[in-house]
């Protein structure tokens, strides 16, 4: 009898410890919400048929409400958070020579990894041809529909470069044009370090207070994260259905394989140039990467990414500069996804792209990916625009959109990994080594 009572007490204690462990770890709560959302969405999906489609759509919208509120709160403070963080990072980065060094290295890292990611996607898509085995989606119009790239107007390039400058900052902020906000913050930050410290001190204090307020609102939003993930995951599975996901396994598998290869590339760069093992990196950043996967938004978890960069031994000034820039411009995972997706659309329509055509399309996608907002669904808009401009039929977009949420979650995780790796590489070596020796 005593042994039985002891066993019961042990079970109760274990359950209490489990609940306490989950309550104190946001990533564990998010993981539970994601798994529960997948289970509920599977039960209510069209494949099971417990609910009629109209009722399921209505229920899914209500279940996704916490997720929409979560993303709305983050979007509300995103502009002041990015603006203030970049200015604080520039003014705290040290001398102008140090700042130029960080900027040039970050630009080189973004360009190199984004082009590498795009060509990983091209190689896998041309090798595995995920779109050639699907029947019923041949949408190529009569005649020669193969894109030649002749319609690409090179005269628009100077116009596009000029358009980067935010000539109407207020409109850019209202429209949520993150690239314009980043450019504006960079200009303000660079100008601030040219002005005497006494004159610019009130402005810098205002930026510091702005970031602190935005971070507080983000902390409030994170209380919704587990419920947000549950509702968004349930809505995803309810809308797409398990059968759709299985039917798209070739395309999904190609993208996921490419993202795994890109992640391994990041780990190799980290080990080779920063002497940090992948295990140490994952042990310090695993919770943040899980949040990136569940929210599908590198912008939404930017405050957590900055905090994680500091746990990786990155100086505050470097993390405040590199992470916001990376969340807006370092989109290697997105570039990989888009190259696979556009070649998939061409294969669905029976279009054979030459190497020159592939090069032109890849370059366009890379340029479009850099500066794309780090929010869910933006890649679909970029993909649709590029495919239309190059004459690739977009009827197959409907099946891409059916599984986009899953792939959006995966590529966001890789994008955030790239931001953390960039911050670690650009950090002064002495500070990095001393921080790594300290406990996480």
**Quick one: pLDDT band at residue 366, thresholds 50, 70, 90?**
confident
Mean pLDDT of the chain: 76
Domain ranges of the chain: 26-437
- DSSP, collapsed to helix, strand or coil, labels residue 395 as coil
pLDDT beyond 70 at 41: yes
pLDDT confidence of residue 262: 96
Cα diameter, the chain: 87
- Segment 233-258 shows an average pLDDT of 77
Percent of the chain with pLDDT over 70: 72
Distance CA 190, CA 206 (A): 17
The arithmetic mean of pLDDT across residues 57-86, rounded, is 80
**Mean pLDDT value across residues 173-181:** 70
In tens, the pLDDT along 85-95 reads: 778 777 766 55
For the domain made up of 26-437, the CATH class stated in words is: mainly alpha
Q: Taking a C-beta distance cutoff of 8 angstroms, is the pair 292, 400 a contact?
A: no
188 or 24, which is more confident? 188
What pLDDT is attached to residue 159? 65
Cα 288 to the center of its chain, rounded Å = 12
**Res. 24: pLDDT tops 50:** yes
The answer to whether 212 and 81 are in contact (CB under 8 A) is no
Q: What pLDDT band is residue 185 in, cutting at 50, 70 and 90?
A: confident
pLDDT bracket for residue 244 (50, 70, 90): low
Residue 377 has what pLDDT? 52
Q: How does pLDDT run across 397-411, given as a tens digit for each residue?
A: 656 765 677 788 889
Residue 36 scores a pLDDT above 50: yes
More confident call, 229 vs 120: 120
Residue 99 tokens, joined? 């700042």
Q: Which residue has the higher pLDDT, 166 or 107?
A: 107
Q: Does the pLDDT of residue 140 top 50, yes or no? A: no
350-379 mean pLDDT = 70
The whole-number average pLDDT for the span 233-246 is 69
Could you tell me the pTM of the whole model?
0.67
Q: Which residue has the higher pLDDT, 118 or 86?
A: 118
Q: Which one has a higher pLDDT value, 353 or 144?
A: 353
Indicate whether 361 pLDDT > 50: yes
Minimal CA–CA distance to 285: which of 265, 263, 257? 263
pLDDT of residue 436: 46
């Amino acid at each position: 009898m005593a042994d039985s009572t002891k066993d019961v007490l042990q079970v109760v204690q274990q359950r209490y410890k489990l609940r306490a462990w989950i309550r104190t770890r946001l990533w564990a709560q998010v993981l539970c919400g994601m798994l529960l959302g997948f289970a509920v969405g599977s039960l209510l999906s069209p494949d099971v048929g417990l609910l009629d489609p109209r009722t399921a759509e209505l229920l899914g919208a209500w279940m996704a409400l916490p997720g929409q509120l979560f993303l709305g709160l983050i979007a509300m403070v995103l502009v002041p958070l990015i603006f203030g963080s970049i200015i604080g990072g520039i003014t705290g980065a040290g001398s102008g020579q140090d700042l130029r060094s960080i900027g040039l290295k970050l630009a080189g890292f973004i360009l190199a990894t984004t082009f590498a990611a795009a060509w990983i996607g091209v190689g896998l898509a041309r090798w595995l041809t995920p779109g050639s085995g699907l029947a019923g989606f041949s949408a190529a119009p009569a005649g020669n529909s193969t894109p030649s790239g002749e319609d690409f107007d090179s005269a628009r390039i100077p116009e596009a470069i000029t358009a980067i400058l935010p000539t109407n900052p207020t409109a850019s902020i209202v429209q949520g044009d993150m690239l314009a906000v980043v450019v504006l913050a960079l200009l303000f930050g660079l100008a601030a370090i040219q002005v005497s410290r006494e004159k610019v001190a009130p402005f810098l204090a205002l930026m510091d207070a702005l970031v602190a307020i935005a971070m507080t609102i983000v902390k409030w939003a994170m209380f919704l994260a587990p419920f947000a993930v549950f509702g968004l995951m349930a809505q995803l599975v309810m809308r797409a259905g398990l059968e759709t996901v299985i039917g798209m396994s070739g395309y999904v598998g190609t993208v996921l394989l490419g993202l795994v290869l890109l992640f391994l590339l990041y780990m190799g760069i980290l080990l080779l140039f920063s002497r940090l093992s992948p295990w140490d990196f994952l042990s310090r950043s695993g919770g943040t990467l899980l949040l990136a996967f569940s929210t599908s938004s590198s912008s939404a978890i930017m405050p957590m990414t900055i905090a994680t960069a500091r746990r990786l031994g990155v100086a505050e000034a470097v993390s405040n500069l590199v992470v916001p820039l990376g969340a807006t411009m370092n989109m290697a995972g997105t570039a990989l996804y888009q190259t696979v997706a556009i070649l998939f659309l061409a294969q669905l329509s029976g279009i054979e792209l030459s190497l020159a055509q592939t090069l032109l399309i890849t370059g366009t996608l890379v340029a479009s990916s850099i500066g794309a907002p780090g929010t869910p669904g933006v890649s679909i808009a970029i993909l649709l625009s590029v495919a239309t401009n190059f004459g690739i039929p977009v009827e197959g977009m409907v099946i891409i959109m059916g599984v986009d949420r899953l792939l959006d979650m995966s590529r966001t995780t890789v994008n955030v990994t790239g931001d953390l790796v960039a911050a670690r590489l650009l950090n002064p070596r002495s500070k990095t080594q001393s921080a790594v020796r300290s406990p996480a």
